[in-house]
A and B are shown apart, each in its own frame.
Chain A
Amino acid sequence: MVAETAKSFEALERQAQTLMSVFVKAGHEAVAPSMIQPADVFLDVIGEALRARTYVFTDHDGDELCLRPDLTVPTCRLHLERHPTGNVKAKYCYNGPAFRFQPQGADSVHPREFRQAGIEAFGGTDREKSEAQIVATTVEALKAAGLTDFKLRIGDLGLFRAVLKAAQMPERWRMLLAHQFWHPEAFRNELGRLSNGPAKALQGLPADLVASLDPAKRADSERKVAKHLESQGVDLVGVRSVSEITESLLGIVEDGRAEPLAPETAQLIESYLGVTAPARAAGARLKDLMRDKGVDITGALDSFHRRLQLMAEAGVDVVRADFTAEFGRTLEYYTGFVFEVVSPALGPGSPVAGGGRYDSLMRSAGSPEDVPAVGAAIHTERLLAAIEGTTG
């Protein structure tokens, strides 16, 4: 890895001061969460896949710790230390290093150590307003640092959920598809399975047992499952109970007996996911699409329009924003609005900043319930490179 020169260190420090002063002026309290974090909480939140990208180590007491791979989770934890229930209004900002293992070797585009500057807003009840403010503050900070040429990409999982809700299908399928949204390939398979023959779900299951199960009779079904296991001489090992297995089996049985997903429903979902348009035109495009299919997602579309309006009022140049329905599919912890700032100097693969809504993150970090949360982070080395690339 290329050693950092004093010059670039100073440039980053100066840039950080500019960013932080914009954040503080927007009402965010500056905090410095711990660099070393308990691995357990982190891995639970970010998932085992990201563990491969995280520096996890065991200290002399045998505790499993990690170097923070980002600052959002540490900021959630800091908030929870102050307010154990989590659901208290607060706005924070930070600037500091984060660490990621680079499996293909570290280089300047994929550093193992980088500085992240960011903002978080917890407990905000006016959702669209909190989101618009986060985008506006992020864009303002980027401009203050000297970035002039950039594009905004936005996405909205709220719209996706509204489409699912309006589409005709069992609730369980909605949950399955919503869960698979982040795994495009699995999503396509699932959609295919539900469209072509959910009855296949029953293949390979003990036929007699399946025939005797009735989703409307939970306790009775549970007894039958227990009896089946006993007759097979199966001792159930582990913590998962007969009741849980029954619940899951009944879901499969319901799938198997359900009518396949109507072709027009699958098509509706696919055409929604195919929408990309300038943000201001996207609303009208979606409205037309939904009207053609006879589907009503007015509530979610209203939120989309209101957010865009609030962003414009807060000084964001929404003409430069693009909407992509699929956007957000690689970032599992986001639960609603998502955005990214892309500079032409670095390209779409290396966004300068990104953020969005992640209402379930606080609960993963230990709060008793979901807490409204919106935030954004700036990749400061990339920002500097983008600015230097455009000016020199």
Chain B
Amino acid sequence: MTERLVLAVPSKGRLMEQTSDMMAAAGLNLRKTGHERGYRGEIEGLDNIDVAYISASEIAWYLKTGRAHLGVTGEDLVREQMSDADDRVEFVKKLGFGHADVVVAVPTGWIDVRTMSDLDGIAQQFRRAHGRWYRVATKYLNLTRRFFASKGVTDYRIVESLGATEGTPAAGTADLIVDITTTGETLKANGLKILDDGIILNSEANLVVSNTAEWNPRVREAQNEILSRLGV
């Protein structure tokens, strides 16, 4: 039985810096142990806590499987990896950074398509003209499937896209996309617009507690310490 709390934080980029700053502002100084390029760390002055530096998308998986007790990651990544996110984890604090909306975007020239219902409306016509359903490029397979189903859109195909998703309609590998956007500028530059009711999720970085992790009194105590300093 583990007696130490595992806190998973992003291992690189802006997210890592912002997480570090946010924690420091609350008097929680993250510090790497061992090599500067290593992936393990601690919080100064607090025992019983291991900090794991991992990629933001893997943090969701750590929380889902209980390998981490606490984690800092985007709500989009958590919801994508868990269809039952509200059972498995608790979003205890929105952190005010890492803002990104997960949206449905179609070519700007599709002036006849403004809503999800319009999108459904062109499905049959598209199939008649091109002999296939329209393709949606995304890395958010589950979010897309759930959102489209909730809007009654069923006649489409997903193509998985792990990068440069907004370029796929122009490249011809997809017809529309589901992707994250902050300002919408990249979408615009690629000739795409967001559907009026096409915002799937307003995501930002969250402090997330795993319900599946193993909790014992010492770990719980360490959690309370972190949460109280962060004002949760």
**B175 interface hit (Cβ, 8 Å):** yes
Could you give, for residues 230-255 of chain A, a 1 whenever the CB lies within 8 Å of some chain B CB and a 0 otherwise? 00001111111110110111001000
CA distance A240 to B149 in the complex (A): 23
Query: Closest residue to B151 on the A side, CB-wise?
Result: A186
In chain A, what residue has the closest Cβ to B174? A238
> Cβ of B191 and Cβ of A47 under 8 Å apart?
no
Q: B residues 14-53 with Cβ under 8 Å of A?
A: none
- Given contacts A205-B111, A206-B111, are A186 and B175 in contact (CB under 8 A)? no
B109 close to A229 (CB less than 8 A): yes
Query: Does any Cβ of A come within 8 Å of B10's Cβ?
Result: no
Q: State the CA gap A378–B129 with chains docked (Å).
A: 37
The verdict on B117 contacting chain A, using a C-beta distance below 8 Å, is: yes
Nearest CB to that of B144 among chain A residues? A48
Residues from chain B with a CB closer than 8 A to the CB of A244 are 122, 125-126, 129
Q: Which of A43, A103, A248 contacts B125 (CB 8 A)?
A: A248
B91 sits at the interface (CB 8 A)? no
- The answer to whether B186 has its CB under 8 Å from any CB of chain A is no
Which chain B residues border A180 with CB–CB below 8 Å?
152
On chain A, the residues within 8 Å of B145 by CB distance are 48-49, 51-52
Contact of B157 among A44, A229, A235, A238 (CB under 8 A): A44
Q: Decide if B202 is an interface residue (CB 8 Å cutoff).
A: no
Q: Which residues of A contact B170 (CB under 8 A)?
A: 237-238
Chain B residues with Cβ under 8 A from A242's Cβ?
109
Contact A248 B121 (CB under 8 A): yes
Q: Are A49 and B122 in contact (CB-based, < 8 A)?
A: no
B188-232 residues at the A interface, CB under 8 angstroms: 190-192, 196
The answer to whether residues A235 and B124 also contact, given A103-B83, A228-B111, A245-B109 and a CB cut-off of 8 A, is no
Q: Judge whether A292 is part of the interface by a CB distance below 8 angstroms.
A: no
Per-position binary interface string of chain A over residues 174-188, scored 1 when its CB falls under 8 Å from any chain B CB and 0 otherwise: 011001101101100
A245 and B112 contact, CB distance less than 8 A: yes
Residue B74 CB within 8 A of the other chain = no
Please, how many angstroms separate the alpha-carbon atoms of A252 and B109 in the complex? 16
B57-76 interface (Cβ within 8 A of A): none
In the docked arrangement, what's the CA distance between A176 and B120, Å?
Answer: 10
| Interface residue range, chain A | 35 or more
Chain B min CB distance to A282 (Å): 28
A131 to B24, CA, bound (A): 72
**Closest chain B residue to A52, Cβ basis:** B145
Q: Counting CB contacts under 8 A, is B81 at the interface?
A: no
CB-CB under 8 A from A252, the residues of chain B are: 112
Chain B residues bordering chain A, tally (CB within 8 A): 39
Name, among B107, B112, B114, B169, the residue most crowded by chain A CB atoms within 10 Å (CB to CB). B112
B101 within 8 A of A: no
Q: Does chain A have a CB within 8 A of B181?
A: no
A186 CB contact (under 8 Å) in B114, B129, B152? B152
The reply to whether the CB of B158 lies closer than 8 angstroms to some CB of chain A is yes
B111 touches A240 (CB 8 A): no
Q: Flag whether A392 is at the interface (Cβ < 8 A).
A: no
Would you list which residues of chain B between 89 and 128 have a CB under 8 Å from chain A?
107-114, 117, 120-122, 124-126
B140 within 8 A of A: no
Tell me whether A48 and B191 are in contact in the complex, defined as CB-CB below 8 angstroms, given that A237-B107, A245-B109, A245-B112 are known contacts.
no
Would A236 and B107 count as touching, CB distance under 8 A? Answer: yes
In whole angstroms, how far apart are the Cα atoms of A163 and B65 in the complex?
53
Cβ of B9 to closest chain A Cβ, rounded Å = 30
B155 within 8 A of A: yes
B132 within 8 A of A: yes
Let me know if A186 and B120 touch, CB within 8 A: yes
| Structural contact, A176 and B125, CB atoms closer than 8 A | no
Q: Given A234-B191, A244-B129, A247-B125, do A186 and B110 touch, yes or no (CB 8 Å)?
A: no
Q: Is the CB of B172 within 8 A of A239?
A: yes
Residue in chain A with minimal CB distance to B149 = A49
Contacts of B148 in A (CB 8 A): 48-49
- Find chain A residues with CB under 8 A from B117 CB: 186, 189
A29 at the interface (CB under 8 A from B): no
Q: Apart from A209-B111, A237-B191, what are 14 other A-B pairs with CB-CB below 8 Å?
A: A44-B157, A47-B154, A48-B157, A183-B154, A186-B117, A204-B114, A234-B108, A235-B191, A237-B170, A238-B107, A240-B175, A242-B109, A245-B110, A248-B122
Closest 7 CB pairs of A and B: A236-B109, A186-B152, A237-B191, A248-B112, A237-B170, A238-B169, A183-B152
User: Which residues of B are interface residues toward A (Cβ below 8 A)?
Assistant: 83, 107-114, 117, 120-122, 124-126, 129-130, 132-133, 142, 145, 148-149, 152, 154-158, 169-170, 172, 175-176, 190-192, 196
Residues of chain A touching chain B, judged by Cβ–Cβ distance below 8 Å, are 43-44, 47-49, 51-52, 103, 175-176, 179-180, 182-183, 185-186, 189, 204-206, 209, 225, 228-229, 234-242, 244-245, 247-249, 252, 332
Pull 13 A–B residue pairs with CB atoms less than 8 Å apart, ordered by A: A44-B132, A44-B133, A48-B148, A48-B157, A49-B149, A183-B152, A205-B111, A206-B111, A236-B109, A237-B107, A237-B109, A244-B126, A245-B110
